[in-house]
Structure 1
Amino acid sequence: MDDLDDELRKLFSDDRLDVHSTPVATESVVAGANRRRRRRTAVTGTFAVVAVVGAVAGVLQLNSMQQEDTVGALLTTSSTTASTTPPPMSVSTVISTATVTVGAPPNSNGSTNPDVPGSRTTPKSNVTTSAPATPEAQPGRYGSLSLGMTEADALATGSLLQAGTAADGRCKTYATKSNANDDAVVISPDRGIVRIQLPDFAKTPKNVGKGSKVADVKTAYANAVQADARTTVKMAATPPWSYVFENDGTVVTQVFMRLDANDCASV
């Protein structure tokens, strides 16, 4: 084994077995290596350019797709909104006119409507009924005398003067200190004082008296009732009584306070 090693060493150390390269061969090897290096560089640059172009194209394509998606989304939203908005409502006003004939002659079957057998047209009344005015609350009293007061109580006031007899023969009449007329006060034996005549200067609480216009009476008292030469105004009191304004149709000539439930014929 050692001998074989020695032989191999001798063989490899023999200069005759060496291969010596010429200068031309060296230059050829170097030139080939340079060509291979340039090829690799060119191929690498080409791949780099292709990669850059591909990346740019991809970015452009992505932007274009995003823009198209955005425009599509906007168009879709706008179209959807427009389609879901209800159109404005149209309001129409229809005016119908009905003609009603009142008092038309009935048909042979007793109908006043030629289209509906047996129907009858009832005319409507346009008359408005208003409630009567409420009487005002005011006691039937003038000075110390009151309607319904007995003769004894009236004499006790000292307001009555000479006595007289009414036309019916049962009721009494008196003048008063403020009114010299013989029948200024009329007294019934059953109902007491049934009428008091106001003096010419006296006025009612609403400033109506002798010389006032009848129109003023009706303006002052909403429940005034005109009958012949008298305008009567009822009052709400106990016992019930009324103002009586005697007049000539235009001007008041006398004013009385009269008990509604009186039994003297001259009142």
Structure 2
Amino acid sequence: MNISEDELEQRLRELFADERLDLPPPPEAGTTIVAGARRRRRRRQGVLAATGVAAAVVVVSGGLTMLRFHAEDGTAVMTADGSSISVKPPENLTAGRQPQTSVPGPTSTRDIEVSAPPASPPSKASRPSSAQPPSKLPPVLSGPLLDADGFGAVKLGMSETQVAAQGVTLTEAQAGASCTVYSVQGSGVPASASVVISKTVGLVVVTPDQAAHTAEGVGAGSTKEQVFATYPAAKDESGGVVAPITTGAAYHFRLDDSGVVQTSLASVNQDCAG
């Protein structure tokens, strides 16, 4: 049966207008349609975001450097030539976190090593003082030795006769009321000296003409401090220091600005001046 186009169109209109073909939508159709649209929108956004990230990775990897983000704590891990360094943003820039006063440690697979600041240059050692402590000064050995009991073979307490018997010549006698001063020299003494001989107690003073040194190493140039350090019982006297060495004898050191310039040995108990 041939039907014209007009007749076919008319029948189709009548068919579509038939109320028996109407299907009423379910009550929840609107909600379902909206939810589906939202899902499709989210999927579309996720695909776009993934595409953008993939493109960024491709671009950055071309420079041998890649950034990997940790969504949990906002840490970015930068990998270059097989090594990785983590960079964590400040806490106050991470969404949903409160600023913290403490600084978190590195979270990368290889901790960043911070080199210690260079050590301060060692302070220059102060130049040692040329002056040594009094007790550490080298002993003086110059000049003749003046012992605690006499000078060479001449000893405290000897009479004029005994002194002369030691190979010593007594000259330039200066006689006093009870004592006589002599200049002595000869094989019995290390050097020429001045002596004082008492008529009652014998030889009481010996003073070498040149600066002598003691057995303890005090002599020409020794400081006053060295004298006191060597002889703790020493005391000041006019022009110098007197230092007892035995119960019957003492050294008398005459000093000037250069130190000891003369040393004498004298008996403690005597009847002669000086």
Into which bin does the TM-score normalised by the smaller protein fall? Answer: 0.3 to 0.5
Question: Normalization by structure 1: what TM-score?
Answer: 0.42
Q: Which structure has greater strand proportion?
A: 2
Q: Which structure has greater helix proportion?
A: 1
Q: Report the structure number with the largest CA radius of gyration.
A: 1
Question: Normalization by structure 2: what TM-score?
Answer: 0.41
